[in-house]
Amino acid sequence: MKHLIDPTDLTREETDAIVALGEDIIENREKYSHVMDGKKLATLFYEPSTRTRLSFTAAMMELGGNVLGFSDARSSSVSKGETVEDTVRVVGCFADIIAMRHFLEGAPLAASAVSKVPIINAGDGSHSHPTQTLTDLLTIKRELGRLNDLTIGFCGDLRFGRTVHSLIKALSRYEGIRVVLIAPDELRLPDYIIQDVCVKNGIPYREVRTMEEVLPELDILYMTRVQKERFLDEDEFDRIKDSFILDCEKMKLAKEKMAVLHPLPRVNEILKEVDDDPRAAYFRQVENGKFVRMALLCKLIKWKDEPGHETPALEESGIKLIDPFGWHCSNPKCICNNEQIRPLFRMSGSGIERCVYCDTKARRN
Ligand code: CP
């Protein structure tokens, strides 16, 4: 059985197969309209969502399957204190596959360790969002015709922006990728992504202060929202919320073939006037999200009983686990600090012990 918790849970070949299936579904909708007859998807959303939850729902319905679940955990037994592990054990009795969004980082990974059905991470805190990544890959492929030889500028909240973390990881497996990071100091890309993804894979990256200085060289401009909900200090949020705003004047600096992506929702980082520019791909990106999730559901259900597509248990995954005795995860928003989950740490590529659930640096007790 294969779960999708992190984009690198899929090999590059599996990723390409899902993107290619998404393209085929777009061309041959009717062919896929009954492939999930009798199957059920559970959507467990502990955090708000419009695109991800509804596109999963639409995807399963268009494949002929059914959907159950909750969009507000307060209406479930979570409000009585039921843990993530117990919840997925129960929901696995009713559904063939589960998509989970959680405000706690690492919650989908903890769920996958006890689940008897595939778990899809639909976004965990500021950590990871692998199905947005599949959406982004399909969009880049359709907009530019390729997934290699790209200069991609990530702009806005690169610190808490889980879609950015996941997309950089996924793109690091393609050839000729160059990354430009456009963010205020407070919202720089986390060091573990720079070290363990960019440096380790030889991805050229640079950090710049303005959009204008790099726009002419970009193939993709990936805009993100400064996320108010991730800030503890409202004054800090107010100070940096409008650091980067894309408007038609700035678009004049960009290549004719550049594509503007945004996972959405946007607030005011892309002015509405940009929407009519043919390079504004963010609403096409939303629709691609449904098709790629259709492809993902087909593949994960198919791979469930097929040898060669297993997600290894953490202990068997080949990563060096560190005895948790004497260490703790310093992230208060990690699942291992909020539920009775055994902390686990591994040695990262940069030689730093990190929490398996959220990638935060481990600390000695
Ligand atoms: N892109 C994205 O994850 O949007 P939602 O939060 O609306 O699901």
> Ligand 1 mean position to 49 CA, how many Å?
5
Q: Which CATH number fits domain 145-282: 3.30.365.10, 3.40.470.10, 3.40.120.10, 3.40.50.1370?
A: 3.40.50.1370
Distance between Cα 252 and ligand 1 center (Å): 29
Let me know the angle formed at the C-alpha of 121 by 12 and 275, rounded to the nearest 5 degrees.
80
pLDDT tens track for 149-181 = 999 999 999 998 899 999 999 999 999 999 999
Residue listed under structure tokens 């965990």:
124
Sheet holding 321-322, edge to edge: 321-322, 345-347, 353-355
Task: Measure the CA–CA gap between 255 and 219, rounded to whole angstroms.
Answer: 7
**Residue 353: per-residue pLDDT:** 87
Shortest-distance atom of ligand 1 to CA 50: 7
Question: What residue type is 118 in one-letter code?
Answer: P
Q: Which of 81, 87, 120, 127 is nearest to 104 (CA)?
A: 127
Region of residue 305 (phi > 0: left; psi between -120 and 50: alpha; otherwise: beta): alpha
Which residues surround ligand 1 with Cβ inside 6 Å? 49-52, 123, 132, 263-265
Per-residue pLDDT, 200: 92
Question: What is the model's pLDDT at position 243?
Answer: 82
The predicted pLDDT at position 348 comes to 76
Residue 34: Cβ-neighbour burial (10 angstroms; 0-12, 13-18, 19+) = exposed
Instruction: Please give the distance, rounded to the nearest whole angstrom, from the Cα atom of residue 224 to the centre of ligand 1.
Output: 11
- What is the reported pLDDT for 233? 78
Q: Note the pLDDT of residue 176.
A: 98
In the chain, residues under CATH classification 3.40.50.1370 are 7-129+287-303, 145-282
- Nearest CA among 48, 41, 110 for reference residue 74: 48
Residue 50 in 3-state DSSP? coil
Is there a contact between 154 and 164 (Cβ–Cβ < 8 Å)?
yes
Q: How close is the Cα of 229 to the center of ligand 1, in Å? A: 14
Torsion of CA 348, 331, 124, 201, to 10 degrees: -20
Per-10-residue mean pLDDT, the chain, length 365: 96 97 98 98 97 98 98 92 97 98 97 97 96 98 98 95 95 97 92 92 95 97 86 76 92 98 95 98 98 98 91 74 84 96 84 89 89
Superfamily of domain 7-129+287-303: Aspartate/ornithine carbamoyltransferase (3.40.50.1370)
Amino acid 318: pLDDT: 64
What span, in angstroms and rounded, lies between the C-alpha atoms of 44 and 287?
A: 21
If you take atom 5 of ligand 1, which residue's CA is the nearest one? 49
Residue with CA nearest ligand 1 atom 1: 263
- For the chain, residues classed under CATH 2.30.30.20 are 317-364
Fold (CATH) for 317-364: SH3 type barrels. (2.30.30)
Chain segment 283-329, per-residue pLDDT in tens: 999 999 999 999 999 999 999 988 888 888 777 766 777 877 788 99
Could you tell me the pTM of the whole model? Answer: 0.95
β-partners of residue 355 are 345
